[in-house]
């Protein structure tokens, strides 16, 4: 069973089509990179796949759950790392992860394990508001994989990270994690190298799909 099946996906905001006619199949363990200029519909696609937005037309199946009817199944199965880290600024990193762990029925040992994995055990008891952007991104990554999801949705996951931090997070959300991934990035060459297949969006419409060359992808931004 494919991890993701999209056939003719449509999503509108009022009269405006944010996504129109998106069709792609992603097998378990594969990485799909989503490319396109600002406003192309990339983040909307991630939010549909996460169950946060309802599709208005087309077939959408994520890990066997048909959307929107079975979107209640997705929180256990999907990890979402978006522009908003989904961390409370007045709480410490450890407190934030413990809070999210409770939501997923995960024990404190997993919190400790992930704080070590992202290199934040020494700064874990400082409020989020006092941490650098890169440190917050490390904690947001830990939050996204607390429940060991089969699928991770990644919106510019390397934002604010230096090369050392990027390498540190690779086992959690990189290709080596073994998870199915949907990756949104403006790094065309890096994204294509880090993926098995691609979708290119322009004004909400799918104009590229499958095996995509960098020159083709650059045309999305013109």
pLDDT over 90 at 196, yes or no: yes
Note the pLDDT of residue 222: 85
User: Could you give the C-alpha distances from 128 to 79, 121, 181, in angstroms and in order?
Assistant: 20, 13, 27
Helix (H) or strand (E) holding 165: helix 163-173
User: Could you give the C-alpha distances from 138 to 124, 181, 197, in angstroms and in order?
Assistant: 11, 18, 26
| Domain boundaries, given as residue ranges, for the chain | 4-77+150-221, 90-148
pLDDT over 90 at 94, yes or no: yes
Share of the chain above pLDDT 90, in %: 92
Residues 6+ apart with CB under 8 A from 152: 78, 79, 80, 81, 144, 145, 173, 177, 179, 180, 181, 182
Note the pLDDT of residue 12: 95
* Domain with residues 4-77+150-221, CATH architecture: 3-Layer(aba) Sandwich (3.40)
pLDDT tens-digit map of 104-119: 999 999 999 999 999 9
Contact 26, 46 (CB under 8 A): no
Share of the chain above pLDDT 70, in %: 100
Position 209 confidence tier, pLDDT thresholds 50, 70, 90: confident
Note the pLDDT of residue 212: 87
What is the Cα 195 distance to its own chain's centre? Answer: 13
Mean pLDDT in residue range 90-94: 98
Mean pLDDT of the chain: 96
Mean pLDDT in residue range 13-21: 93
Contact 149, 131 (CB under 8 A): no
User: Could you give the C-alpha distances from 119 to 14, 114, 165, 167, in angstroms and in order?
Assistant: 44, 8, 8, 11
Is the whole model's pTM more than 0.85, yes or no? Answer: yes
């Amino acid at each position: 069973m494919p991890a993701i099946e999209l056939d003719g996906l449509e999503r509108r905001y009022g009269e405006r089509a944010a996504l129109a006619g998106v069709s792609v199949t992603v097998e378990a363990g594969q990485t799909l990179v989503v490319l396109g200029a600002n406003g192309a519909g990339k983040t909307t696609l991630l939010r549909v796949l996460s169950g946060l937005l309802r599709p208005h037309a087309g077939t959408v199946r994520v890990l066997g759950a048909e959307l929107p009817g079975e979107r209640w199944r997705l929180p256990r199965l999907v990890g979402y790392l978006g522009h908003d880290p989904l961390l409370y600024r007045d709480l410490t990193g450890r407190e934030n992860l413990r809070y999210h762990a409770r939501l997923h029925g995960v024990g404190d040992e997993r919190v400790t394990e992930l704080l070590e994995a992202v290199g934040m055990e020494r700064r874990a008891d400082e409020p989020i508001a006092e941490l650098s952007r890169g440190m917050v991104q490390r904690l947001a990554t830990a939050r996204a994989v607390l429940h060991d999801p089969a699928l991770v949705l990644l919106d510019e996951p390397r934002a604010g990270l230096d090369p050392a931090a990027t390498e540190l997070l690779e086992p959690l959300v990189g290709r080596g994690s073994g998870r199915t991934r949907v990756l949104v990035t403006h790094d065309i060459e890096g994204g294509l190298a880090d993926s098995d297949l691609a979708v290119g969006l322009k004004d909400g419409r799918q104009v590229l799909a499958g095996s995509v060359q960098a020159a083709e992808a650059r045309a999305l931004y013109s």
